[in-house]
Amino acid sequence: MVRFMVRRLAMALVSLFFVVTLTFFIMKAIPGGPFASEKSLPPNILAAINEKYHLNDPLWKQYVDYLGRTARWDFGPSFKYPNRTVNDIIRDGFPVSAAVGAMAVGLALGVGLLAGVMSALKQNHFQDYGTMVLATLGFSVPSFVMAGLLQYFLAYRWQVLPPALWGSWKNIVMPALALSALPTAMIARLMRSSMLEVLQQDYIKTARAKGLSERVIIYRHVLRNAILPVVTYLGPLIAGVFTGSFIIESIFAVPGLGRWFVLSIANRDYTVIMGTTVFYSLFLIAMNLLVDLAYVIIDPRIKLVDRKE
Amino acid sequence: MEISRDLFQPIAQGREDAEAIVRPSTTYWQDAWRRLKQNKGAMAGLVIIILLTVMAIIGPWISPYTYDAQQLTAEGTNRLPDATHWFGTDDLGRDLFTRVWYGARISLLIGFVTALVQFLIGVTYGGISGYLGGWVDEIMMRVVEVLYAVPFLLYVVLLMVLMEPGLKTILIALGAVYWLPIARLVRGQVLSLKEQEYVLAARALGASPWRIIFRHLIPNSMGPILVYTTLAIPEAIFAEAWLSFLGLGVSAPIASWGSLISDGIASIRQYPFQLFFPAFFISLTILAFNIFGDGLRDALDPQLRK
Amino acid sequence: MLRNKSWVLLLALVLLVTVALAGCGGQKPQPADSGSSTKAPEKAIVYNLGAEPETLEPAMQIGAPEGTVLMALMEGLYRYNADRKLVPGAAEKVDISPDGKKYIFTIRKGMKWTNGDPVTAHDFEYAWKYLLDKNTAADYAYLAYCIKNGEKFNNGEVTADQVGVKATDDYTLEVELEAPTPYFLDLTACSNLFPVNKKVAEANKEWHTRPETYVGNGPFKLAAWEHQQKLELVKNPDYWDAANVKLDKLTIILVEDVNTMLTMFESGQIDVAEDAPVKDVKRLLADGTAVALPDPSTYYYILNTKKKPLDNVKVRQALSMVIDRKAIVENVTRAGQKPATGYVPFGFPDLTPDKDFREAGGALIKEDVNKAKKLLAEAGYPDGKGMPEIEILYNNSPNHQKIAEAIAQMWKDNLGIKVKLAAQEWQVYLDALDAGNFMVARGGWMPDYNDAMTFMDVHVTGGGNNHSFWSNKEYDRLIAGAKNTNDQNIRIKNMHEAERILMDEMPVIPIYFYVNVTMYKPWVKGVFVPPFGGYQEFKWADVEGKK
């Protein structure tokens, strides 16, 4: 296990290096820059700006700078919002996005798992169809439509929740609901399908034959073995949802991190692009590592390290 | 009578014949099809999918309007559904019935192709990574992680600069990233399944890794794979809307369900029907695919094979 | 058994992380119940600014969002009053030399910065030189190029001492200009030329980033700034004209989504907002919720005159003649925009400030389908035969797309030509525009100052914003002539003549003149958009009759 962890951490650094490198060169390859504007600036002013922000340094030097900044975890100030450093942006935005994300994932897990299990146990019954049709609706309504509908009814028609902005727990509800629709549907369906698979396994039949109560069978044997696909799904889901969604955050005016992923690219705000990408990558890598560790806990037969080693 | 050797003639016979199965053999796929036919829900889903596809093909023809003909007058724009315009008109006075079915062509095609690509690449990649395990798995999964972490929007803008906008470019953009999650999922399933006894048995019998992956491990992971694949269809349809908004998609005035929906959401207060029709048909499509996917899962499940 | 324990542990861990994260997000301070403090005697307005201001440092300001906030926090030498007329602000009066090249401002005595320091002429000198300093690298430094040696200093060719702005004592500011500039006083009302407290700025470069250190001289002061949420401004009791400031509190919230904004406006959480959603704007204008004020900007299509067949003037004229501008403003943009009748929009002074340049110039754009067909045939493309496919480039936004779709249809139907639309991401679009990598592109122009010249000098040969690559010697001569004189007769005559050439040659096809649609709650009084502003002026705002 120690060996596995050491290897994974080393590999994580390699992954991060490739992410930074790829992002940097794509970012520099696409047209535009942080100071492009519809009204062309006089060339001398543009030159002064490029000088000030080191944008006319040779590409390799800028690249090395970014690598250094990543290593020191100091991404510098945003080009577009010179008042704020990228570290500030992450520090202010992440807790907000994570709060919404945590509630969304919590909802998705709670409702999704319950619905999936219920529906698998009642396969082809009315409950099964009902739940799965509902879950399908979660798929088929894009999050921005869901957000629009929630806002229209809950905030505008019935006025039970504030339409937007941040501050109290009430502000978390609608963004979290809108975000959780798709993962809830996904988890419900994944759970149903893998439960059905596990229920046919011989060891379940054996357990039944031994006279174990249905409750024990479900809890101890079926759930445990069926949850694997859900766990895999949770890795990127948590990384994605906790770092925020651009669409949801702009609709509900949530001051989270999600909008920066999109806005920084639209603005060619290079330092913010690098900072947010590195942050997200680390999160993703960590989540995937946790998922792999969870595999071993859930199913001890899984070996992450080669026997030959 | 002497029974000599030359009275006997060897029958041309291979060893296999001895174990011939008298009952006509049904292949895995024949069997799956037979079971699929028995599943009413799945067949209903299939019928809806076929109907939608047929409408996508003939829908724009049965309407007297073209998808891009405008009526730029106060009476022509934003008309409620009536006898002449069955689904009403949009804010440039274009017939929504025609646009919805024209959009179905684009969106269904994108949905199908993306799902197929993600299925083929993702399943193969994940299967190999999970089965081989160890260092190979480590490296293959880190590659997935890196591709997943580089912002999608950056790829998209890069593609926009490199390629002409159009269907092909969208398919490349979507194909390039959509296989990543399914690869991780399949790899996770395979990691678990490959430790099962039947895989050990197959290996002991000398089955090639290729055969083990594709005949044993993947059919046994079909459930979650199909859930992911059916999800890829709506995701691709919506991603297309977003991409065409960024300029990578099919260019206006060509309609797609995604673009009709994002247009419709802005009308939610004034003209809700503009959101209703495209949203209804997307939901119907997704529902049909999911019911069908569930049936397919049951049909393909090797455990249920009789 | 052990396995089960680890399973439970895992779940517990997930839960713990979830709760912890939810907790740390939820502990943010409760936002003040914005705008609904009906019982309190204080007068408050909630305004939706939309985007987060990029900076509140006057020199670095580039957009309308910052402009609105700066306008409330600061005061320039001049300011627009409630009648949208330019009146002295931080200056008490100005003496202008007969040749129009020297301005001597007398700074109002007794004015104070929000930290108690007196506002002096030195603060203006410092701020303007800071704007022009090469190391500041301000986008809008060129606004001050009319000051003597301004451009040279910005290029690093002369020292700061040689720039034509000098505080001769605490209350006298002497400004020398390169050439007579009739709109110079308008410029001093512009936020880039606002003063900066020299002492504060020299001590702390970051003075403008936080409310605690922000120092202004305007009608309001900055009380709070929550990024991506809101800014809170309260009345500045030390403002020299505080007696005329009725508003106690101005909350500026930052909601970018227009549909959300409308929901909040209609449910009473916003009092003033712009950018009503296009689909709703007709209704909002009809029921009086919103007003459409003319915005002196033009929406036009740029024709790349270096690309076939657009190098042919007859093709360009034909393309313009078949556009039904009335149908576009009534059924596509829907907010009461005016169909373009020329290139320069309404709202710029003609010979005298009370005359309008556009009105005097008359209608220069003709719509005539039959004539257009004839022109196209003369150009060698009868009924559009043999004409290469025209591609319209625009940056992705639903409005640009709808307009492009409508115009493409008009070209197709009336001229029989093929048209293709190409949406691009904003910066890719800008890049294509600069590189001339397009046939027809959406374009537009917003004024920098209150004179038709801000529109006219765009299209001179080789101009940085002349994206059509059009070149006309006579046009260049007329513009140069107008720029080098102080004689308003010649300036205006030249510009009218140049505009006629431009509209005859059609390197750009004007479509419509913008409007500024603002929604006001009925109790909001005295908020307006200054001429060529693009921002809301809150100095004279008041709240009356709010229930």
pLDDT at B161 over 50: yes
Position B32 in a domain: no
Structure confidence at residue B234 (pLDDT): 80
Give residues with Cβ within 8 angstroms of B106, minimum separation 6: B167, B240, B250, B254, B255, B256, B257
Structure confidence at residue C30 (pLDDT): 40
Nearest to A306 among B133, B146, B192 (CB): B133
Structure confidence at residue C12 (pLDDT): 46
The reply to whether omega before C277 is within 30° of 0 (cis) is no
Contact C259 B244 (CB under 8 A): no
Task: Please report how many Cα atoms fall inside a 13 Å half-sphere around the Cα of residue C180, on the Cβ side.
Answer: 15
Position B18 in a domain: no
Structure confidence at residue C352 (pLDDT): 85
The vertex-C147 CA angle with C144 and C148, nearest 5°, equals 140
Contact B251 C422 (CB under 8 A): yes
Biggest CA-to-CA distance, chain A: 85
Q: Are strands C165-169 and C44-48 parallel, antiparallel or unpaired?
A: unpaired
Taking only residues 26 to 45 of chain A, the set having a beta carbon closer than 8 angstroms to any beta carbon of chain B reads 26-27, 29-31
Position B80 in a domain: no
Task: Please report how many Cα atoms fall inside a 13 Å half-sphere around the Cα of residue C361, on the Cβ side.
Answer: 30
pLDDT at A32 over 80: yes
Rounded to the nearest angstrom, the gap between the alpha carbon of residue B30 and the centroid of all alpha carbons in its chain is 21
Q: Domains in chain C, ordered, with CATH?
A: 75-217 (3.90.76.10)
Structure confidence at residue C2 (pLDDT): 37
Going by C-alpha positions, the residue among B219, B200, B142, B183 that lies closest to residue A301 is: B200
Position B284 in a domain: yes
Position B142 in a domain: yes
Residue B26's pLDDT band (boundaries 50, 70, 90)?
A: low
Rounded Cα–Cα distance for residues A219 and C3 (Å): 13
Which of C133, C228, C395, C449 has the highest number of chain A CBs within 10 A, making it the mutation to test binding with A? C228
Task: Tell me the average pLDDT across C81-103.
Answer: 89
pLDDT at A177 over 50: yes
- Give the alpha-carbon dihedral of B53, B56, B61, B63, to 10 degrees: 120
- For A2-13, the pLDDT digits (tens) are 777 888 888 888
Q: Which residues pair with C177 in a beta bridge?
A: C147
- C406 CB neighbours in chain B (<8 A) are 70, 72, 92
The reply to whether omega before C65 is within 30° of 0 (cis) is no
Structure confidence at residue C510 (pLDDT): 95
Position B22 in a domain: no
Which of C390, C405, C442 has the highest number of chain B CBs within 10 A, making it the mutation to test binding with B? C405
Q: Which of B154-158, C29-33, C303-307 has the lowest mean pLDDT?
A: C29-33
Q: Are strands C249-253 and C44-48 parallel, antiparallel or unpaired?
A: parallel
Give the chains touching B; criterion: ≥3 Cβ pairs < 8 Å.
A, C
Structure confidence at residue B61 (pLDDT): 81
- For A189-228, the pLDDT digits (tens) are 888 888 888 888 788 888 888 888 888 888 888 888 888 8
Q: Are strands C91-96 and C102-107 parallel, antiparallel or unpaired?
A: antiparallel
Contact B153 A261 (CB under 8 A): yes
- For C448-494, the pLDDT digits (tens) are 888 899 899 899 998 888 999 999 999 999 999 998 887 889 999 99
The vertex-B77 CA angle with B73 and B82, nearest 5°, equals 120
Give how far Cα B40 sits from Cα of B283, B292, B305, C147, C545, Å.
20, 10, 18, 82, 66
Give the chains touching C; criterion: ≥3 Cβ pairs < 8 Å.
A, B
Rounded Cα–Cα distance for residues C547 and C544 (Å): 9
pLDDT at B242 over 80: no
pLDDT at B63 over 60: yes
Structure confidence at residue B18 (pLDDT): 54
Q: How far is B252 from chain C (nearest CA, A)?
A: 6
Contact C331 B268 (CB under 8 A): no
- Write out the DSSP string of C11-30: HHHHHHHHHHHHHHHHTSPP
Residue C211's pLDDT band (boundaries 50, 70, 90)?
A: very high
Contact B195 A193 (CB under 8 A): no
Structure confidence at residue C239 (pLDDT): 92
Position B227 in a domain: yes
- Chain A contact for C24, CB < 8 A? yes
pLDDT at C38 over 80: no
Q: Are strands C338-339 and C290-303 parallel, antiparallel or unpaired?
A: unpaired
Q: How many separate domains does chain B show? A: 1
Asked if C67 and C534 count as a contact pair (C-beta separation under 8 A), the reply is: yes
Residue C405's pLDDT band (boundaries 50, 70, 90)?
A: very high
Q: Which of B127-136, B278-287, C14-23 has the lowest mean pLDDT?
A: C14-23
Going by C-alpha positions, the residue among C64, B157, B160 that lies closest to residue A38 is: C64
Q: Would you mind telling me the total number of residues written for chain C in this entry?
A: 547
Q: How far is A139 from chain B (nearest CA, A)?
A: 7
Q: Which residues pair with C45 in a beta bridge?
A: C250
Average pLDDT in chain B: 81
- For C524-533, the pLDDT digits (tens) are 988 888 876 6
Residue B21's pLDDT band (boundaries 50, 70, 90)?
A: low
Q: Can you give the CATH number for the domain in which B220 is found?
A: 1.10.3720.10
Residue C53 or residue B30, greater confidence: C53
Structure confidence at residue B85 (pLDDT): 80
Position B119 in a domain: yes
- For C113-127, the pLDDT digits (tens) are 999 999 999 999 999
- Chain B contact for C399, CB < 8 A? no
Rounded Cα–Cα distance for residues A250 and A151 (Å): 13
Whole-prediction pTM value? Answer: 0.85
- C259 CB neighbours in chain A (<8 A) are 148, 151, 251
- Chain A contact for C397, CB < 8 A? no
Residue A170's pLDDT band (boundaries 50, 70, 90)?
A: confident
- For C328-337, the pLDDT digits (tens) are 998 888 888 9
Task: Tell me the average pLDDT across A25-31.
Answer: 89
Give residues with Cβ within 8 angstroms of B72, minimum separation 6: B92, B93, C324, C327, C328, C331, C332, C406, C409
| Ranges of each domain in chain A | 86-308
**Nearest chain B residue (CA) to C391:** B251
Average pLDDT in chain C: 86
Contact B74 C324 (CB under 8 A): no
Q: Which domain holds residue B203?
A: 38-64+91-304
Structure confidence at residue C289 (pLDDT): 87
- For A182-195, the pLDDT digits (tens) are 899 889 888 888 88
CB pairs under 8 A between A and C: 167
- For C138-191, the pLDDT digits (tens) are 888 888 888 999 999 988 899 999 999 999 999 999 999 988 888 899 889 888
Task: Tell me the average pLDDT across B266-292.
Answer: 83
- For C492-505, the pLDDT digits (tens) are 999 999 999 999 99
Asked if C169 and C197 count as a contact pair (C-beta separation under 8 A), the reply is: no
- For A82-91, the pLDDT digits (tens) are 888 999 999 9
**Nearest chain C residue (CA) to A290:** C10
Q: Which phi-psi region, left, alpha or beta, contains residue B271 (left: φ > 0; alpha: ψ -120 to 50)?
A: beta
Asked if A48 and B178 count as a contact pair (C-beta separation under 8 A), the reply is: no
Structure confidence at residue C212 (pLDDT): 92
- B138 CB neighbours in chain A (<8 A) are 7-8, 11
Structure confidence at residue C13 (pLDDT): 44
Residue B58 or residue B294, greater confidence: B58
Structure confidence at residue C29 (pLDDT): 38
Contact A167 C155 (CB under 8 A): no
Contact B151 A261 (CB under 8 A): yes
Contact C424 B247 (CB under 8 A): yes
Residue C372 or residue B59, greater confidence: C372
Structure confidence at residue C313 (pLDDT): 92
Contact B93 C331 (CB under 8 A): yes
| ipTM score of complex | 0.85
Structure confidence at residue C22 (pLDDT): 41
Question: What's the CATH code, domain A86-308?
Answer: 1.10.3720.10
- For B93-117, the pLDDT digits (tens) are 888 888 989 888 888 888 888 888 8
Residue B22's pLDDT band (boundaries 50, 70, 90)?
A: low
Over pLDDT 70: what percentage of chain C? 92
- Chain C contact for A30, CB < 8 A? yes
Q: How far is C259 from chain B (nearest CA, A)?
A: 7
Residue B102 phi, psi (nearest 5)? -65, -40
